[in-house]
């Protein structure tokens, strides 16, 4: 009986891992989630919203614009960032991440933003061809109009993602 229970639990865990991994790969990559987590760790909020409209709000439409802000950014990271952020990503259900962070389902965004005292929001992450350099728009906000936002260039140092430059920074 105990052996059957152990096999059942392992089977359920494996099924959940496979489903979650497929969900992540279909919409957002595990590298994107790693960047979201790294940046969100500095915020008291555990709520994460994914938006694709920040590039429109700050007027970014061409890789050259990004490269003028980040001279070390390659054209591939700029182009990937812009391509991924042209379409809205629909997160069908909440996704629980390490540390109690949760990516909020798209259908709940408006309601949860009204209820949340503080939140993190991200664009899709653009990567260079080696996946060692990334570009993301990040905003840490609250209902009382506090917070900050900006475009961040990150590099993977072998263990984690580290901010190497920031531009278009906005403080409220």
136-146 pLDDT per residue, tens: 998 887 776 77
Which band of pLDDT confidence, cut at 50, 70 and 90, is reported for residue 113?
confident
Pairing relationship of beta strands 47-50 and 95-96 according to DSSP bridges: unpaired
Task: Look at residues 112, 143, 1, 107 and name the one whose alpha carbon lies nearest to residue 48.
Answer: 112
- Distances from the Cα of 35 to the Cαs of 6, 152, 172, in angstroms? 34, 10, 23
Q: Are 104 and 92 in contact (CB under 8 A)?
A: no
Extended beta strands in 37-132, E state: 47-50, 95-96, 102-103, 118-122, 126-127
Helix (H, G, I), strand (E, B) or coil at 153: strand
Judge contact between 52 and 113, C-beta under 8 A: no
> Which range is most confident: 46-55, 108-117, 131-140?
131-140
The confidence band for 55, taking pLDDT boundaries of 50, 70 and 90, is low
Going by pLDDT thresholds of 50, 70 and 90, the confidence category of residue 15 is very low
131 φψ region: left (φ > 0), alpha (ψ -120 to 50), beta (else)? left
On the question of pLDDT at 165 being above 50, the answer is yes
Write phi, then psi, for 66 (nearest 5 degrees): -70, -40
Q: How far is CA 106 from the centre of its chain?
A: 14
Give one word for 147, left, alpha or beta, with left for phi > 0 and alpha for psi -120 to 50: left
Is the distance from CB of 170 to CB of 57 less than 8 angstroms?
no
């Amino acid at each position: 009986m105990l052996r059957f229970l152990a096999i059942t639990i392992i089977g359920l865990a494996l099924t959940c891992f496979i489903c979650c991994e497929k969900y992540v790969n279909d919409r957002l990559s595990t590298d994107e989630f790693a960047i979201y987590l790294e940046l969100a760790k500095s915020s008291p909020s555990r709520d994460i919203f994914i938006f694709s409209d920040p590039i429109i709000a700050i007027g970014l439409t061409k890789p050259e614009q990004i490269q003028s802000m980040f001279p070390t950014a390659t054209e591939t990271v700029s182009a990937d960032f812009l391509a991924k952020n042209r379409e809205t990503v629909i997160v069908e259900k909440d996704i629980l991440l390490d540390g109690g962070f949760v990516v909020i389902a798209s259908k709940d965004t408006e309601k949860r933003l009204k209820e949340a005292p503080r939140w993190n929001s991200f664009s899709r992450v653009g990567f260079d061809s080696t996946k060692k350099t990334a570009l993301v728009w990040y905003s840490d906000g609250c209902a009382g109009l506090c917070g900050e936002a900006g475009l961040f260039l990150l590099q993977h140092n072998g263990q984690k993602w580290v901010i190497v430059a920031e531009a278009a920074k906005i403080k409220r």
